[in-house]
Each structure stands twice: as structure tokens, then as C-alpha cells.
Structure 1
Amino acid sequence: MSAQNDESQGAGSASAPITVVGSANQDYLLRVEASPSPGETVLAHGMRKNPGGKGANQAVAAARLGGDVRFVGCVGDDDDGALLLRELRAEGVGTSDVEIITREHTGLAIVAVDTTGENSIVVVPGANFALTESRVTRVVRRDAAGGVVVLQAEVQPRIIAGAVAAADDAGARVVLNLAPFVALAADVVAACDPLVVNESEASAMTGLPVSTLDDAHAAAGELLGRARSVVITLGARGAVWADGDGTGHVPAPALDRVVDTTGAGDAFVGALAVRLSEGAALEDAVELGVRAGTYSVAREGAQSSYAMAADLRHAEARTA
């Protein structure tokens, strides 16, 4: 059954389409006491397979909050690819622009989660790197006019550049989550509204240390000179934002226990995209993103941990 039922529409019905261009992976989630150091072998307490990939994660997070979402990507012609497609469809994500690649396996990620909920991830791109600039450009120009285009960096940089150029031509708003960090041309970054990065990615872009809230504000100010707007996510401290109207900090709600941080940044981006698709101000979009990310870290897995709109309403009511 689609995740977009009546109850889940409470984050607001999206007023514009959301096109997510990115990766789809099968996640192999390992539970460990602590992630291994170089040369060290550790025993895992168990292993689970979950649908993942930053692109698919963000698409699911947005769809669960009522977004009108389509996903553009590639999977292999294998069991993992078939499973990922079924999961996306079950969540209400449009998959007509997902290409099945016979010559590559579906992307996968090995995710080690320790007892504090922190994770270490190794990604094998597989079919994700078969995504072509011509197809992405065609889909974005055809479907994204007036909407929001969401991108991440688990696809090749030329795909990001092509999608951004097509989105700009179509009058779509570009949300780029530059994770993992890759160097991009200045004109690609300049179209981002917002550019979304975490502390380490912001530091890599600016050369500035980003360890305190003041550091994050300074880095956001520097990045605002390159992009139309900027968001720096800070984990348990929430997020800092900056645009032409001002800057601010949205703190995260307190949690008794962090279970698993896998995919929390993707929950944030998906929620932010939904709010922006409704025409909200960046500060309001960041506020929903912080609540969605906080909700996810209290639960195991990536997509399986994401909130419906009703979940966030109930969580807000409990803390009011």
C-alpha cells in the first residue's frame, strides 16, 4: 500500500513535484560493538538487508511526508534491484524513470553500526554509475518545471552538473546534498538553493574548521557567497541555515537514546524538499528537516526509520 495515505498528508500536500536524481543501494547493516580500526577484525552481532542509497532514501523520506515524488536512477537486473523497485513503489515513489541495467549489479553499501548508533559506510556504486547525463537531462526538462530537483553525490559529478543545468533551465529549485563530498564547478554550486552539507563537507569546501555552532555560522556565511542558500547539518545540534533573507540555527529535539544514525541526513533532506515544494521559507523547511532527522535516529535502519507526517505531528505534540 502507498505510504501516501490520508493520515500521512499532514506535512502538507506538495504543491510542486519533487524529482530525485540519485543512487539506489541495497544496504547490508552490521551491528558491532565498535567499528574496526585498520588491521583489526571484529565480530558482528547480526546482519540485516535494508533498501538504501542516498537518492532512494531521500525519495522515500519525501514521499512519506506527502511529497509528489519521482525517482531517476539505475538498478541492476538482479534480485536486489527488483526489491528496491518494489519498495520504492510501495512507498508511493514514481519509478517509471528508473532504468534496469543488465551489465551491472545493483549498488550496495556495507554499513557498520556501533553501540552508540554511529555508523561507518562503504559504498559499491554498481549500476548507479550507469546513469547517463542525456537521460537525466531529458527527464528533468520534461517533468521538473516549477518543482524541486533533489541531488546527492553517490552518482558521477557530470550527472549532477547536467541535472542542475536542466533544472535551472526548467525553472526548478535545486537542492543539492553534497554527500559524499566531491569537487564541483562553481556554476553548479551557484545554482543550489540550498546546498546541504554536514560539518565535514562544509569544512572540505571552505577550508575552515566546523566543530562549533559559531564555526558553522561562519562556514555558512562563506558558502552563501557561492550558492543561493546554504544548510549545514550538525547532527544532535540541529542545523544552521543561511539565505538572502538572513541566517539562523534550528536546534534538534532532545533524545533519550540514539539507535542508528544511518540515513538521518537523507531523512532531513527529504523533509526539507517537501516543505520547499510547498513554497515554505528555508527556515521552516530546515525545522521540518531537523524533526524528521531526529525521529529517524531513534529507530533502526534508513528508510525503515523514516517518519510519516502523523509521526512528526505526534512527536511535536509530546514536546510542546
Structure 2
Amino acid sequence: MGRTVGQAAGEHDGRPVPLHRHDVVVVGSANADLVVQVGRHPAPGETVLGSDLAVHPGGKGANQAVAAARLGARVALLGRVGTDGHGRLLRESLRRDGVDLSHLHDTPAASGVAMIAVGPRGDNSIIVAPGANSLLSEDDVRGAAPLLRSAPIVSLQLEIPMPAVLAAARLARRAVLNLSPATPVPDELLALCDPLVVNEHEAALVLGGMGDAAQQAKALLALGPRSVVITLGADGAVTAEDGAVQPVPSPRVAPVDTTGAGDAFAGALAWRLARGDALADAAAFAARVGAATVRRPGAQNSYPTLAEVETL
């Protein structure tokens, strides 16, 4: 029987010996989430009253790292945080969940901040002030080359500068890119994605709103990535590779807060791909993680353990 990704040829005490120190290396952002609950989202120029402000650890990179770590993955985060109170909050949260912070650099600047309004149906609107995240450089990435080259999966997002993202993808054995926030990316980066992960709104922005999810997945695949995943919220996801599109269902749950659910999906997907799962199987597991996440408020605070996912 062949070995899965992450197993060595031999065994120790009957258990596989890891070939690498980390399953997933996340290169990305860490933000403090400033969250307010609102009865409805304001129209342009309108003021609405909200709940008391809550501050939680977040950021797409940190979220993905925590989501994977809670499921049992060995995870490292490459990024930058400020030397302010928010930076200390982010470091402590990540450390608590067992994320390797040896490549999370302190920066004499404000940490990244996301201002999040959560509506009555769990829907949210988000504005991000990148702060220290915007200072992650190609040199930072090249300095972590042995880390990136050794991991089965490098997980990327776009809350950090594009040159750092591209440098990480070039070094990765397999790069998973969550194209969020949606923005034009170089053809070279698309060609390195395996998979490119977008939600249905991001897919529409990239493609100009064409078609249903299956058509969008094929159209995205034609842009150059080796594989594609489109997340569809409560409707699960679709995967596309080698020209074939496969629907992926999601458990039905009553959503409380969708903040960070896409990051939970991406973190879970990266971990299962690192384990050697097929893309559709990894996406099906990630959809269950996303469904478990939206049942609780907040981002990282809502991320499930493997045991909680298995109850769905």
C-alpha cells in the first residue's frame, strides 16, 4: 500500500514517522477583529446603533492557521504583527492553539485591524486596515525558504502584499490560494495554485458574473490554476480539476455568525490535502468544518475541534 503525504518509509513504535515538521505553513495576515452586532447594515451615509464592541483575534492567515491546528494539524504562520496590544492578543491566541510562531515577526507599527458589522442573520460586512501585514516582504518569505519547501501545503490569501504571496507560491511544494479579498493576480500565481479557492461572489468578480457554480469552476480552471474550489455557503462547494466538476454537499445548520467561515474552510482543506486526501474529499470535510463554525459567534472562537466536526 502506498504512503500518504506526511508519512515516512519507516515507522516508530508502530506509528508513521513524519517526513516534515509541519503539515501546513500559512503565509498571511493576523488582525484584531473589532466586532459590532447590528440590527441591519447601514445604507451609504446612514448611521445605525450597534452592540458593545467586542475584540477578537482574526485575520485570514491567523484564522486559517488556528482552524487547521484545532483539527490536529501541525501549523506554522509566517507573517507580521505590531508591537501594540493587538499584536500581543494575536500572539497569545495563536500560541494557545499550538501554532508555531517562529516566523511571525514583530513590527514597530500598528497591528492589522478588521472592522466587522454582523447582521441579524449572521451575515457580515468587513473593512480591513492592514497595518503590519502590509510590511510582509519578499525577503521575509525568502528567509523562511526551508520552512516553505518542507511543508506539503503552503496556504495563502491576499491580505498581505502580492510580492510576498508570489514569492511563497514559488517556494511551495503545493500552494493553496484563497483569492480573498478578490483582486487581479499575476498569471504566474494562478498557474501555481492547486487549488485556487474562491467563494461564489469572488468567482463572479473574477469572471464578470458569468454562469452557475459549475460553469464558473470550469471558467476559472481555464485561467490557469491546476484545480479550483468554489465555496457556496450553506450549499457546500464545487471542485474542478482535469476538466471535471464535482459538487460537494454541506450539512444544514442554523447560522449564528458567518465571520471567518471561509477561513475555517480553507484551513481545513489545506490540512486534509496535506494528509493526502483527494480534492473533493478534502472539500467535503472542509464544508463540514465551515458548517460547524457558523453555529457560534466570532471567527477563531467558533472554530471546531475534530471531535466536534465528527458529530455533524
Above 0.5 in TM-score?
yes
Q: Is contact 2:135–2:161 with CA below 8 Å preserved after alignment?
A: no
Residue 117 of structure 2: aligned partner: 112
Q: Is the 8 A contact 1:14 1:67 kept in 2?
A: no
Give the % identical residues: 46
* Pairing 1:244–2:242 present: yes
Q: In angstroms, what is the RMSD of aligned CA positions?
A: 1.7
Q: Secondary structure at the match of 2:150?
A: coil
Corresponding residue for residue 297 of structure 1: 294
Q: Which runs of 5 or more residues in structure 2 are unaligned?
A: 1-16
Tell me whether 264-273 or 239-248 shows the greater mean CA deviation. Answer: 239-248
- Write the mapping of 1:114-129 to structure 2, written as runs, cut at 5 A: 114-129=119-134
CA contact (8 A) 2:266 2:286 kept: yes
Matched, 1:62 2:60: no
Q: Is the 8 A contact 1:157 1:182 kept in 2?
A: no
After alignment, is 145-154 or 238-247 more displaced?
238-247
Which amino acid letter does the alignment assign opposite residue 248 of structure 2? V
Maintained 8 Å contact 1:73/1:97: yes
2:188 counterpart SS class: helix
Match of 1:224 among 204, 215, 221: 221
Shift of 1:127: 0.3
Q: 4+ residue runs of structure 1 moved beyond 3 angstroms?
A: 13-16, 140-144
Q: Find 2:272's aligned residue among 268, 275, 280.
A: 275
CA deviation vs aligned residue, 1:194-241 (integer Å, no higher than 9, x gap):
00001121112222335xxxx110111111121000000111111010
Partner of 2:231: 233
Using the TM superposition, name which of 16-25 and 89-98 deviates more.
16-25
CA distance in 1, matches of 2:151, 2:110: 34
Tell me the distance in 1 between the aligned counterparts of 2:57 and 2:144: 24
Count of residues in correspondence between the two structures? 294
Partners of 2:243 and 2:103 lie apart in 1 by: 36
Matches within 5 A, 1:154-303: 154-167=159-172, 172-209=173-210, 215-225=212-222, 226-244=224-242, 246-255=244-253, 257-303=254-300
Equivalence map 1:70-149=2 (5 Å): 70-102=76-108, 104-149=109-154
Q: Distance in 2 between matches of 1:146 and 1:260?
A: 32
Distance 2:26 2:84 in 1: 22
CA distance in structure 1 between the partners assigned to 2:125 and 2:184 by the alignment: 22
Cα deviation 1:135-189 (Å, max 9, x = unaligned): 112314444325100000101111111111121xxxx110000000111111110
Contact kept? 1:18, 1:144, Cα under 8 Å: no
TM-score, reference length from structure 1: 0.89
For structure 1, the residue ranges without an aligned partner over 5 or more in a row are 1-12, 316-320
Measure the CA separation in 2 of the matches of 1:38 and 1:231.
Answer: 33
DSSP-derived class of the 2:238 partner: strand
